[in-house]
Protein backbone atom coordinates (compact mmCIF):
# COMPACT_ATOMS: atom_id res chain seq x y z
CA UNK A 1 0.00 0.00 0.00
CA UNK A 2 1.23 3.49 -0.85
CA UNK A 3 0.25 6.90 0.46
CA UNK A 4 -0.74 8.91 -2.61
CA UNK A 5 -1.69 12.54 -3.15
CA UNK A 6 -3.64 13.29 -6.31
CA UNK A 7 -3.39 16.96 -7.25
CA UNK A 8 -6.46 17.84 -9.27
CA UNK A 9 -9.93 16.50 -8.57
CA UNK A 10 -11.53 16.82 -11.99
CA UNK A 11 -12.39 13.90 -14.26
CA UNK A 12 -8.79 12.62 -14.46
CA UNK A 13 -7.83 13.12 -10.82
CA UNK A 14 -11.15 11.94 -9.44
CA UNK A 15 -11.10 8.83 -11.60
CA UNK A 16 -7.55 7.94 -10.51
CA UNK A 17 -8.22 8.65 -6.84
CA UNK A 18 -11.30 6.41 -6.80
CA UNK A 19 -9.54 3.53 -8.57
CA UNK A 20 -6.40 3.71 -6.42
CA UNK A 21 -8.46 3.84 -3.23
CA UNK A 22 -10.37 0.79 -4.43
CA UNK A 23 -7.02 -0.94 -4.98
CA UNK A 24 -6.15 -0.45 -1.31
CA UNK A 25 -3.97 2.65 -1.35
CA UNK A 26 -4.33 5.58 1.02
CA UNK A 27 -5.31 8.41 -1.31
CA UNK A 28 -5.92 12.11 -0.78
CA UNK A 29 -7.34 14.07 -3.71
CA UNK A 30 -7.14 17.85 -3.58
CA UNK A 31 -7.81 20.76 -5.89
CA UNK A 32 -5.19 23.17 -7.17
CA UNK A 33 -5.23 25.45 -4.12
CA UNK A 34 -1.59 25.82 -3.01
CA UNK A 35 -2.30 25.18 0.67
CA UNK A 36 -4.26 21.99 0.10
CA UNK A 37 -1.75 20.72 -2.47
CA UNK A 38 1.21 21.42 -0.16
CA UNK A 39 -0.39 19.61 2.77
CA UNK A 40 -1.29 16.58 0.68
CA UNK A 41 2.14 16.39 -0.99
CA UNK A 42 3.97 16.72 2.32
CA UNK A 43 2.53 13.50 3.75
CA UNK A 44 2.46 11.39 0.55
CA UNK A 45 5.01 8.94 -0.81
CA UNK A 46 3.74 9.41 -4.37
CA UNK A 47 2.23 12.59 -5.83
CA UNK A 48 0.17 12.46 -9.02
CA UNK A 49 -0.14 15.63 -11.07
CA UNK A 50 -3.60 15.54 -12.60
CA UNK A 51 -3.87 19.31 -12.95
CA UNK A 52 -4.02 20.98 -16.39
CA UNK A 53 -0.66 21.05 -18.15
CA UNK A 54 -0.85 24.81 -18.68
CA UNK A 55 0.40 26.27 -15.40
CA UNK A 56 1.50 22.91 -13.96
CA UNK A 57 5.20 23.80 -13.99
CA UNK A 58 4.66 26.91 -11.86
CA UNK A 59 2.16 25.09 -9.64
CA UNK A 60 4.49 22.19 -8.90
CA UNK A 61 7.69 24.22 -8.66
CA UNK A 62 6.01 26.06 -5.79
CA UNK A 63 5.89 22.67 -3.99
CA UNK A 64 9.64 22.03 -4.34
CA UNK A 65 10.15 21.45 -0.63
CA UNK A 66 7.14 19.16 -0.25
CA UNK A 67 8.12 17.13 -3.34
CA UNK A 68 11.74 16.59 -2.31
CA UNK A 69 12.57 12.88 -2.40
CA UNK A 70 9.08 11.96 -3.64
CA UNK A 71 7.93 10.26 -6.83
CA UNK A 72 5.98 12.73 -8.97
CA UNK A 73 3.76 11.05 -11.54
CA UNK A 74 2.84 13.45 -14.32
CA UNK A 75 -0.23 12.37 -16.30
CA UNK A 76 -0.97 15.74 -17.87
CA UNK A 77 -0.12 17.26 -21.25
CA UNK A 78 1.01 20.85 -21.66
CA UNK A 79 -0.96 22.08 -24.67
CA UNK A 80 -2.48 25.23 -26.07
CA UNK A 81 -6.15 24.90 -26.94
CA UNK A 82 -7.36 25.37 -30.48
CA UNK A 83 -10.51 27.36 -31.35
CA UNK A 84 -12.72 24.38 -30.43
CA UNK A 85 -11.14 23.98 -27.00
CA UNK A 86 -9.26 20.81 -27.94
CA UNK A 87 -5.43 20.54 -27.89
CA UNK A 88 -4.00 22.48 -30.82
CA UNK A 89 -0.28 22.91 -30.08
CA UNK A 90 2.40 22.16 -27.51
CA UNK A 91 3.47 24.64 -24.83
CA UNK A 92 7.01 23.19 -24.80
CA UNK A 93 7.86 22.26 -28.41
CA UNK A 94 11.17 20.39 -28.55
CA UNK A 95 10.75 19.50 -24.87
CA UNK A 96 7.94 18.35 -22.59
CA UNK A 97 6.28 19.26 -19.34
CA UNK A 98 7.89 16.20 -17.72
CA UNK A 99 11.37 17.34 -18.75
CA UNK A 100 10.68 20.84 -17.49
CA UNK A 101 9.47 19.43 -14.17
CA UNK A 102 12.51 17.19 -13.74
CA UNK A 103 14.85 20.09 -14.46
CA UNK A 104 13.02 22.39 -12.05
CA UNK A 105 12.72 19.69 -9.35
CA UNK A 106 16.09 17.86 -9.38
CA UNK A 107 15.43 16.21 -5.99
CA UNK A 108 12.11 14.74 -7.18
CA UNK A 109 11.79 11.56 -9.24
CA UNK A 110 9.49 12.44 -12.13
CA UNK A 111 7.70 9.67 -14.03
CA UNK A 112 5.53 10.41 -17.05
CA UNK A 113 2.70 7.98 -17.79
CA UNK A 114 -1.03 7.62 -18.63
CA UNK A 115 -1.02 10.70 -20.88
CA UNK A 116 -1.72 9.00 -24.24
CA UNK A 117 -5.35 7.99 -23.70
CA UNK A 118 -8.74 9.34 -22.80
CA UNK A 119 -9.21 9.37 -19.03
CA UNK A 120 -11.61 6.38 -18.67
CA UNK A 121 -8.92 4.07 -20.12
CA UNK A 122 -6.45 5.01 -17.35
CA UNK A 123 -8.38 2.90 -14.84
CA UNK A 124 -10.14 0.43 -17.15
CA UNK A 125 -7.74 -0.55 -19.95
CA UNK A 126 -9.37 -3.94 -20.47
CA UNK A 127 -12.56 -2.20 -21.63
CA UNK A 128 -10.93 -1.48 -25.00
CA UNK A 129 -11.53 -4.00 -27.76
CA UNK A 130 -7.82 -4.20 -28.61
CA UNK A 131 -4.74 -4.45 -26.39
CA UNK A 132 -3.71 -0.98 -25.15
CA UNK A 133 -0.24 0.34 -24.33
CA UNK A 134 0.78 2.62 -21.47
CA UNK A 135 4.19 4.31 -21.59
CA UNK A 136 6.69 5.17 -18.87
CA UNK A 137 9.37 7.88 -19.10
CA UNK A 138 11.75 8.79 -16.30
CA UNK A 139 15.33 8.86 -15.08
CA UNK A 140 14.89 6.69 -11.99
CA UNK A 141 14.40 2.99 -12.66
CA UNK A 142 13.23 2.26 -9.12
CA UNK A 143 10.56 4.97 -9.37
CA UNK A 144 9.38 3.52 -12.68
CA UNK A 145 9.17 0.08 -11.08
CA UNK A 146 7.01 1.49 -8.28
CA UNK A 147 4.71 3.17 -10.78
CA UNK A 148 4.51 -0.01 -12.85
CA UNK A 149 3.07 -1.58 -9.71
CA UNK A 150 0.46 1.18 -9.47
CA UNK A 151 -0.42 0.65 -13.13
CA UNK A 152 -0.95 -3.04 -12.40
CA UNK A 153 -3.32 -2.04 -9.60
CA UNK A 154 -5.25 -0.01 -12.18
CA UNK A 155 -5.65 -3.05 -14.45
CA UNK A 156 -2.65 -2.69 -16.74
CA UNK A 157 -1.05 -6.04 -17.50
CA UNK A 158 2.75 -6.18 -17.42
CA UNK A 159 3.04 -6.75 -21.17
CA UNK A 160 0.95 -3.62 -21.82
CA UNK A 161 3.48 -1.37 -20.05
CA UNK A 162 6.27 0.05 -22.25
CA UNK A 163 9.25 1.69 -20.56
CA UNK A 164 10.54 4.14 -23.16
CA UNK A 165 13.62 5.20 -21.19
CA UNK A 166 14.72 8.56 -19.81
CA UNK A 167 12.58 11.60 -19.17
CA UNK A 168 13.40 13.02 -22.62
CA UNK A 169 11.18 10.31 -24.15
CA UNK A 170 8.19 12.08 -22.61
CA UNK A 171 8.34 14.64 -25.41
CA UNK A 172 7.17 11.91 -27.81
CA UNK A 173 4.21 10.81 -25.70
CA UNK A 174 3.23 14.39 -24.91
CA UNK A 175 3.29 15.24 -28.62
CA UNK A 176 0.98 12.28 -29.24
CA UNK A 177 -1.82 14.28 -27.59
CA UNK A 178 -2.08 16.19 -30.85
CA UNK A 179 -3.72 13.06 -32.31
CA UNK A 180 -6.58 13.37 -29.86
CA UNK A 181 -8.66 16.24 -31.32
CA UNK A 182 -8.57 14.66 -34.77
CA UNK A 183 -9.68 11.28 -33.41
CA UNK A 184 -12.47 12.90 -31.38
CA UNK A 185 -13.70 14.89 -34.38
CA UNK A 186 -13.76 11.81 -36.59
CA UNK A 187 -14.99 9.19 -34.09
CA UNK A 188 -16.57 11.03 -31.18
CA UNK A 189 -15.60 11.02 -27.51
CA UNK A 190 -15.17 7.26 -27.19
CA UNK A 191 -12.41 5.76 -25.02
CA UNK A 192 -9.16 5.03 -26.86
CA UNK A 193 -5.42 4.79 -26.25
CA UNK A 194 -2.48 5.47 -28.57
CA UNK A 195 -0.92 2.01 -28.58
CA UNK A 196 1.70 -0.20 -30.15
CA UNK A 197 0.49 -3.30 -31.95
CA UNK A 198 2.89 -6.04 -33.02
Each residue's pLDDT tens digit, 106-133: 999 999 999 999 999 999 999 999 999 9
Those residues with Cβ within 8 angstroms of residue 32's Cβ, 6 or more apart along the chain or in another chain:
7, 8, 51, 59
Beta-strand runs (E) in 38-102: 46-49, 71-74, 79-81, 87-90
Calpha distance 134→3 (Å, rounded): 22
Q: Does domain 3-187 have CATH number 3.40.50.720?
A: yes
88 φ, ψ to 5°? -120, -25
Can you tell me whether residue 186 is helix, strand or coil? Answer: helix
pLDDT of 173 reads 96
32 has pLDDT over 80: no
**pTM for the model:** 0.94
Averaged pLDDT of the chain: 93
Domain boundaries defined on the chain = 3-187
CA–CA distance from 189 to each of 58, 82, 102, 120 (Å)?
A: 30, 17, 32, 11
Residue of 163, 132, 140 whose CA lies nearest to 46:
140
**Minimal CA–CA distance to 133: which of 110, 111, 151?**
151
For residue 64, what pLDDT is reported? 96
> Model confidence over 72-107: pLDDT tens digits?
999 999 998 888 877 888 999 999 999 999 999 999
Q: Please list the residues that pair with 7 across neighbouring strands.
A: 30, 49
Specify the pLDDT at position 34. Answer: 66
Question: What is the model's pLDDT at position 71?
Answer: 98
**Residue 9 pLDDT more than 90?**
no
CA–CA separation, 124 vs 19, rounded Å? 9
Amino acid sequence: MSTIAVLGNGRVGGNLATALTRAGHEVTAVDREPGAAANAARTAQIVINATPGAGALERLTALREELQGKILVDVSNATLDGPDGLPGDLIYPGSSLAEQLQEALPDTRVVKTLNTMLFPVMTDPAALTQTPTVYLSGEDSEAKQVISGLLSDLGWQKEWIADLGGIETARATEAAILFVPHVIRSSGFAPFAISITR
